[in-house]
Amino acid sequence: MKKFFALFLALGAFALAGDEAGKSMIQAYSVVAAGVGLGLAALGGAIGMGHTAAATIAGTARNPGLGGKLMTTMFIALAMIEAQVIYTLVIALIALYANPFLG
């Protein structure tokens, strides 16, 4: 981990070296950050959705009479989980196309 940190620190010097080199380096870092951020958000969202669906199925199996109520609650929870992933997508698109660091 220390090697990666040192590598990114060394590459950061190139980002501040000149105008054109700095802009291309910031754009490259933005692409990497967007990819990693979206990957982590999708992973977390998928895990959360899996746990939500499993809990709903287990609840319906225990008490079939509450199946409709549990499904409604599950869909609301899934919408909230998916909203977090969409927020990450919006931040990634801002970092890629309207990058505030290129100033």
Say what the pTM is.
Answer: 0.71
Domain range list for the chain: 47-98
* 69-to-25, 63, 64, 73 alpha-carbon distances in Å: 51, 11, 10, 6
CA distance 58 to 64: 10
CA distance 65 to 34: 44
CA distance 55 to 51: 6
When comparing pLDDT for 24 and 51, which is higher? 51
Q: What is the pLDDT of residues 36-88, one digit of tens each?
A: 989 999 999 999 999 999 999 999 999 999 999 999 999 999 999 999 999 99
